[in-house]
Structure 1
Amino acid sequence: MPITDKDQLKQLASGEKKIVQDLYTKVFPKIASFVMKNNGGLQDAEDVFQKALMQIIARYKLNTFTIESSLDGFLFSACRNLWRRELNKQKRIVTNDEALEHSKETEDMTMATLEQEKWELFQEKLAELSDNCKQLLQLFFQKVPYKDIVEKLGYNTDNVVRQRIFNCKSQLTKLIKKDSRYNQIKEL
């Protein structure tokens, strides 16, 4: 019987080495490729991978959750968010003070977890929209030009596409703000 993502998450949180080895084999090469294509090295990828695993485990132990996608995709998303955060941090500050580094590390873990929760809420609410809205917003977020969206989806003009995207974004915003998690995340 194949192991489910829920079972994998539970095994990961309980410290089973096999699941970590499996994730390392399946997901780490993708993480390494992403980090190295985005101004990082193999050591950076290993650090991000380890931080993401620790973040997921700590979050699961604190408040058991389920994953809507696959554990592999969830882990990749967490790593991607951590690496982007690291790149932004490197632009702003360079320090070697160990005490500052330790508190920054804790703050970074907290912020990365928060960003992951925001991303999950966004993805969940996006999935609740109509197929047309999902398709429009995905093209919009991929920065596809309006004229291309007009052709691809058969709308009459750029203005119709703009209005429809505005309406879809408004629907998405309302769904997110209605969710009780929004206020919890917003306050942090």
Structure 2
Amino acid sequence: MRAGFPVARKGMVIGLLGGSFDPAHGGHAHITREALKRMGLDRVWWLVSPGNPLKVQGPAPLPDRMARARAVMRDPRVVVSDLEARLGTRFTAETLTRLRAIYPGVRFVWLMGADNLGQFHRWERWEDILRMVPVGVLARPGWGVRARMSKAARIYGGDLVDRGEVLRSKRAPAWCFVNLPMDSSSSTAIRARGEWRR
């Protein structure tokens, strides 16, 4: 295995939670723990991205965001990683293509909050993502109905499964919407209150 890359064995099911984590907070940790439990994942890798192509302003420096993420998410089943910087990928579809080649026999499940499903159709090659790996959508405050009515949810409504653990073995395209107790933490709100330096 390459230096700096997480270890995964053939047959493992790894959830991937990508984002700028600017900053990481309790809400990220909450949905990660719920995904591990409700989807029967072996591990979750946080992919702390170098930047977000959909955001105009760049995030705080990557080392700062990595350090904060590691402080927030203390669970031996979770790896906080800068894989996208190491791979040199900018878009999720590129990252997934590379990871599937590097880790043959490992099953990946893409994880996202419901707020991301609401604008998923704006992501680069978003339909390729849905065809590559199952997707687990985790409820976020204020996004239940809007996420379920999103363009991606409407187009791929026939691929919706009713239980998260089904994603362990279901071939893509497949996705689920997981309702869970809400955590209202928000990176945007934390930055607005001045609790996180940029």
TM-score by length of 1: 0.22
Q: Which structure shows the bigger proportion of residues in helix conformation?
A: 1
Larger Rg: 1 or 2? 1
